[in-house]
Amino acid sequence: MTKFLQLDSQKIEIQWHQNVLNEQKNQNSSKNLPALIFLHEGLGCAGMWKDFPARLSQKTHCPALVFSRSGYGKSDPSSLPWKINFMHVQALKILPEIIKKAQIKDYILIGHSDGASIGIIFSGSPYIKELKGLKGLITEAAHVFCEQITVECIQQAKINYENHNLKQGLEKYHGKNTDNAFYGWNDIWLNPKFMQWNIEKYLNKIKVPMLAIQGKDDQYGTKKQIASIKYHVNNIKTHLLDNCRHSPHNDQPDIVLNLMDQFIHKIIKGK
């Protein structure tokens, strides 16, 4: 069920998924489990995760919070153009506010693409000491630096948006925010200065358990991305999936669901 969080003057779309059966059987146990916080991709929103958060919530018994960043989905628009540090702003300013506003104590971040990068910045930042509740980080198709292959795919996305059917496909999820979401994301990734963007310095500061997943056929990034994550993070499990492109939870949903479930249960059991 879609609701909204008020952050200063911004209204943010949120969805909560709960394991109703588990709550009915053991409310006290359910309340002690970490919340799963989903961070969407550069063209995503709460609705574009589809039923995956609900399935993972049901499987792990953890509550799941899904939200649309400003300018996406049913959230309020964001002003354009975005700045080079837009993911840092989301990670270091907006995400902590959402966690506090939603009254979440313990949580595991699950990020896809840009959302995964936001999760990395947050998890390697000083906010961890202040908020304390981070128990784990899961990333899908994370970017830790900008590659030429990424820029080329984003250039093609602009062609598809302006000349083919990409805009129509996005409109059913973003509505009036469609242009805001697309050009906010597209223009900044195509800014020549963005080629220097790099968040690898946050990786070795991540102290919580981490699970990193990437498709072998990811069209938006090479295997150098997950290789860098594996090299810099100590407590990590990585998986490169066959027959999988940039969206593992869509391309290989059952495999990804099981990988995340196993990872989350180890955190819950303290292993």
DSSP one-letter string for 34-84: PEEEEE--TT--GGGGTTHHHHHHHHH---EEEEPPTTSTTSPP--SSPPT
Residue 31 confidence (pLDDT): 64
The single-letter code of the amino acid at 224 is: K
One digit per residue, the tens of pLDDT, for the chain of length 271 reads: 679 999 988 999 999 998 654 444 444 445 689 999 999 999 999 999 999 999 999 999 999 999 999 999 999 999 999 999 999 999 999 999 999 999 999 999 999 999 999 999 999 998 676 667 999 999 999 999 999 999 999 999 999 999 999 999 999 999 999 999 999 999 999 999 999 999 999 999 999 999 999 999 999 999 999 999 999 999 999 999 999 999 999 999 999 999 999 999 999 998 5
At residue 130, the pLDDT reads 66
Q: How far apart (Å, rounded) are the C-alpha atoms in residues 74 and 23?
A: 28
**Distance of alpha carbon 86 from alpha carbon 234, whole angstroms:** 27
**CA gyration radius, the chain:** 17
Q: How far apart are CA 51 and CA 49, in angstroms?
A: 6
**pLDDT in the model for residue 92:** 94
CA distances from 144 to 40, 125, 140 (A): 16, 15, 12
Round to whole Å and give the CA distance between 124 and 244: 28
The structure tokens listed for 164 are 């083919």
Separation of alpha carbons 132 and 58, rounded Å: 25
Q: Which domains does the chain have, with CATH numbers?
A: 2-269 (3.40.50.1820)
Threshold 0.85, pTM exceeds: yes
Beta bridge partners, 38, equal 66, 110
Predicted local confidence at residue 131, as pLDDT? 62
pLDDT reported for residue 102: 95
Distances (CA, A) of 251 to 82, 95, 140, 150, 248: 30, 27, 12, 19, 5
pLDDT of residue 126: 80
> What are the tokens at 148?
């030429």
Ramachandran area for residue 122 (φ above 0: left; ψ -120 to 50: alpha; else beta): alpha
Q: Tell me how far apart the alpha carbons of residues 19 and 54 are, in angstroms, rounded to a whole number.
A: 8
- Number of alpha carbons in the 13 Å side-chain half-sphere of residue 129: 3
Q: What pLDDT shows up at residue 34? A: 97
**Amino acid (one-letter) located at 260:** M
Give the pLDDT score at 9. Answer: 86
Q: Is 241 helix (H, G, I), strand (E, B) or coil?
A: strand
